Each structure stands twice: as structure tokens, then as C-alpha cells.
Structure 1
Amino acid sequence: MTETEGPPPASAYAEGDEGRYRATELTRGPWHPDHQHAGPPIALVCRAIERAALEHGLTHVSRLTANLLRPVPIGELAVEVAVDYAGRNAGHYSARLVAGAKEVARFTALVQRESTVPLPDALPGHPLPAAPQGPDASPAASIPFSGRRLVGYGDLVETRVARGRFFDGPCATWFRLRHALLEGEAPSVYQRVVVAADSGNGISAILDFKKYLFVNSDLTINLLRRPRGEWICLDARTYLGPDGCGLAESALYDTDGLIGRATQSLSIRLRE
């Protein structure tokens, strides 16, 4: 793989025909130069689910689960969405991500109808907590693997560290998209969350990246309300068991406060 010269692409994906998309180098992840970071393709599927749910008047993506079956190659992808059930207040959706002739990821989602409900004052646990500090007060930092001189995920997002350090245990980091997810289209707030949320195991890593693989095989995001704004914060930490398995957990925030949580199941391996 040679170094990419010139400016990065304008977006993570370009749209083709009949639900097909072409990935650009901005989707490149840390584990292999020909494979995507999981955040952008999961966000691409989230976009398709949002559109399917909107047809039923459902607008809040309260849960999205991605089962990552295989590495997602940097190339052409197809997204397929099915309506499992759409009711008055909530809908259940499933989706597939296909690369070539192979299914590379499978998804389920819960999308709810939003309505205004007055709440009592002084509820326990409220107001909801805020991120350790806001993006304007957090210093800019580059995700370590973006320094390989290959255009990739580290160029797609802007990051600012609110607490801790990258690859050194618990870490809180703000994420903002530098480029569009899809060419010519502004990403939704949910797509912004998804692009960031798959990075919890990276920013809170506690193993040496040069010696270990700690790849997530899934991602589940639960959101208690609609996010707001361009900035999304992950306050993440990694937990490891003695059997080659682990868990990364992230509290998710926007600049107004807590919006939900994300979890990733990890497979731990020594690099060959």
C-alpha cells in the first residue's frame, strides 16, 4: 500500500445506483490498510434505517446494534433494510451490509416516535451529567494511527481530548466530522454519533497497539434522547478478561449533556 498523495476526498462515501455506495480512503481503519474503520459503514446503515423509519413517522434512533461479521473492505458496498415491525410508537428494523457477494455486517435497530412530555421538576439523577469539559476547552489531538501517512479515519474526524490520553486507559474525547459521510449531503446527528461511537475501544486502549489486536466484533448504541450539534463526546474505558475477551464501554455526550451509552465486545489477540 502506497502513501496517498494530495488532499483527502470530500466524503467518506459516494452514492451509486440501487442502494450501492463506494467507500473512499477516509474510511480506512487502524487494523489493515484495505479495511474500513467500522464507524463510517455503521453510520451509512444508520442513514438507511433512519430513512425507512421516517416513512412511518419514527424519528428517534434509540438503539442500534451492529454485528460485525467480517472486515469491511474499502470498496463498493450495498445496504439492505427490512421493516420487522412498525407500530404507533416504535419500529423494529433489520439491515445487512454486503461487500461483493459477502455479507459483512448485520444490524437491528429500534426507532421511536418523538413527542413532547412534560416532566416533574427535581427528578432523581437529573439534570443529566455533562461531559468532563466542553470541546472549546479541550485540546486538539490526532488519533495515533492517523500518523501512518495514509488517508483514513483520523482525517475524517476532528478530535479533542477532554480527559486522559489516547491509548492510555480511560479517556474522554470529542469527535466532529471534518468531511461529509455521503457526498453532497449533511450527516444527521445520529450518523455523527455512530461515526464516533465505534472508537471507544481505541481511545481507551490499555494494551500496546504494536503487540496486540483488540478488535470489536459488535457495537451497540443506546440513546435516551435526540443528540444536538456537531460535537459528540465519548467518555470511554476498556475492561479485559483473562480469556482473550473484553469490553469497551462509552458514555456518550453532546454539548448539552448525556445522550446515551455504547458498548463493544472485544477479541484480544497477540499480533503475529
Structure 2
Amino acid sequence: MDAAYAAAEEGSYHASELTRGPWHPEHQHAGPPSALVCRAFEQAGAVHGLTHLGRFTGNLLRPVPIGALTIEVAEDYVGRSVGHFSARLIAGGKDVARFTALLQREADVPVPDGTPGHPLPEAPRAPADCPPVTMPFAGRLRGYGDLVENRVAEGRFFQGPCSIWFRLRHALVAGEAPSPYQRALVAADSGNGISACLDFARYSFVNGDLTVNLLRRPVGEWICLQARTALAGNGCGLAESALYDEAGLIGRATQSLTVRPR
């Protein structure tokens, strides 16, 4: 299948090998299912004219298997300007992740000239000026490293703080063009991996959550993560990423890490 997912009946999907993550050959990387749930949130918000995804939070309860998935979305509250939604991601009859989202109604409110802190910063380098790179785990088995292509804006892959561009090589859902928000969510969960500062062979450092805040709709196909991992020495850590498109800063992502020796 030349896409991360194939849609079945309403709310049900089948994951392809392109969703495979680096931790286990039968488990998905958290980026693609997060983007799939983002798609469901976008559809729920559009009914009310809520077109901007301001915040997306995922609580990753169990590994997400490569196979059949179901998404159930609930409308928690919809007001004049914002709506709060929640969702369950279900596999094998169990909740494997739960999500919440804030969607906002957009309005034309230009930023006045001279506003402090504006214009917002840009990514370190444009993707056209950056060398391509392949994720170290790509090629062993077809997976996430084949779903996306990468270019290095600064630093080095898996050796501490770095800035990496992401672009989807394949559709998220077969027969559909991914939305800008879906492109951002596919990439946003990778901050922990690309800025890894521990040896994969000696340590695991899995994130149990993902929160993404976006200030505007991304433009174009490329998303840059300027990522850093911080470790506390207590078996816990934090990965944080500034997110950019080719026009500049679009938001931030954070992940809580559990660090253990293998």
C-alpha cells in the first residue's frame, strides 16, 4: 500500500508498514496515528467552522500495533471562537491512545508593524539549501523512515540538538492529499528521536505523550523540527521542538520521556 493508512468503514482504518517505528517491528511510530487522529479532529471542527488546530495532545497508553484501528471522536464543548474535542484510538478492543484538541475559529487580524518579537524567527536554513539524510533505522524494514524524507538544517541526526526538515513521501490516507496540520503531526513526534543523546543500543527513551501548539496553519510540504532532549538523571526527560515551515515559526512540540537502560 502506497500510503500510511487505508480507510475502511467510517472511523476505521488499516495501517501499512509505512507506519512502523524504530522500537518494535510490529508497532507504529506515534507520528502517523497522531496525524490520523488530527484528521478526525479537523473533520469534527469543520462542522462548526473551527478551522485552526491550536493544540493537539496525545496520551500514548500502549504501543499502537500495525493493523486495524478505530477512531472515536467526542465533542466536549464548542463555543463561539473555540471548540474542545477528545478522541480514543482503539486497536484489538483496547484504547491504545487518547487525545484532546483545541480548534479555533480564524479571523483576519493583521499583526501591527513594530509589534515586539515580530516578525517571528525562521528555520536555520531552507530545505533547498540542506543536504538529504536517511534515518539510521530506515531500510532494515519498510517503515516511518520510508514514509518521510529528511534534510539537515543544523547539527547531526541522533547526536543531540539538531534541526531536521520532514516531508511526506506518501499519502497519509490512501487517495487523499494530507492537510498542512497532518503533515506537521507526522513530523512533530520525532523530536525525541532526532535529538537523541543516548545510544539506542544501550538505552530506551520512549515518549509517553505528545503536545503540539500551533499558532497558524502551516504552508508548503516541509516541516522543520529544531529539537533538543533534556535528561534529568532520574529516569525521566523532556524533548522539545520548535516547529517551522518555509515561512517561519509555526509552533512548538513537547514530549515526556521515560529513560531506561536496555
TM-score by length of 2: 0.99
Counterparts of 1:117 and 1:41 in 2: how far apart (Å)?
33
Q: Secondary structure at the match of 1:206?
A: coil
Deviation at 1:87, TM superposition (A): 1.0
Q: 1:208 aligns with which of 190, 199, 204?
A: 199
Residue equivalent to 2:67: 75
Counterparts of 1:33 and 1:228 in 2: how far apart (Å)?
33
Q: Secondary structure at the match of 2:193?
A: helix
Deviation at 1:109, TM superposition (A): 0.4
Residue equivalent to 1:262: 253
TM-score by length of 1: 0.95
- Within a 5 Å distance, the mapping from 1:58-69 to structure 2 comes to 58-69=50-61
Q: Secondary structure at the match of 1:144?
A: coil
Please identify runs of 4+ aligned residues in structure 1 that moved more than 3 A.
none
Deviation at 1:213, TM superposition (A): 0.4
Residue equivalent to 2:23: 31
Q: Secondary structure at the match of 1:160?
A: strand
Structure 2: gaps spanning 5 or more residues: none
Residue equivalent to 2:222: 231
Q: Letter of the 2:4 partner, please give it.
A: A
Residue equivalent to 1:4: none
After TM superposition, the structure 1 stretch with the greater mean CA deviation from structure 2, 118-127 or 222-231, is: 118-127
Please tell me the root mean square deviation across aligned C-alpha atoms, in Å: 0.6
Counterparts of 2:117 and 2:110 in 1: how far apart (Å)?
17
Counterparts of 2:250 and 2:187 in 1: how far apart (Å)?
13
Q: Letter of the 1:101 partner, please give it.
A: G
Counterparts of 2:11 and 2:74 in 1: how far apart (Å)?
13
> Do the aligned residues in 1 keep the contact of 2:17 with 2:143 (CA within 8 Å)?
yes
> Do the aligned residues in 1 keep the contact of 2:139 with 2:146 (CA within 8 Å)?
no
Counterparts of 2:167 and 2:136 in 1: how far apart (Å)?
17
Counterparts of 1:178 and 1:127 in 2: how far apart (Å)?
31
Residue equivalent to 1:6: none
Deviation at 1:91, TM superposition (A): 0.2
Deviation at 1:145, TM superposition (A): 1.0
Residue equivalent to 1:3: none
Report percent identity of matched pairs. 71
The reply on whether 1:242 has 2:237 as its aligned counterpart is no
Counterparts of 2:84 and 2:188 in 1: how far apart (Å)?
21
Counterparts of 1:197 and 1:118 in 2: how far apart (Å)?
27
Q: Secondary structure at the match of 1:147?
A: coil
Counterparts of 1:163 and 1:34 in 2: how far apart (Å)?
32
Counterparts of 1:147 and 1:212 in 2: how far apart (Å)?
22
- Within a 5 Å distance, the mapping from 1:163-174 to structure 2 comes to 163-174=154-165
Deviation at 1:100, TM superposition (A): 1.2
The reply on whether 1:52 has 2:44 as its aligned counterpart is yes
Q: Letter of the 1:79 partner, please give it.
A: I
Residue equivalent to 1:175: 166
Counterparts of 1:241 and 1:38 in 2: how far apart (Å)?
23
Deviation at 1:264, TM superposition (A): 0.2
Residue equivalent to 1:127: 119
Structure 1: gaps spanning 5 or more residues: 1-8
Q: Letter of the 1:251 partner, please give it.
A: A
Q: Secondary structure at the match of 2:4?
A: strand
Q: Secondary structure at the match of 2:132?
A: coil
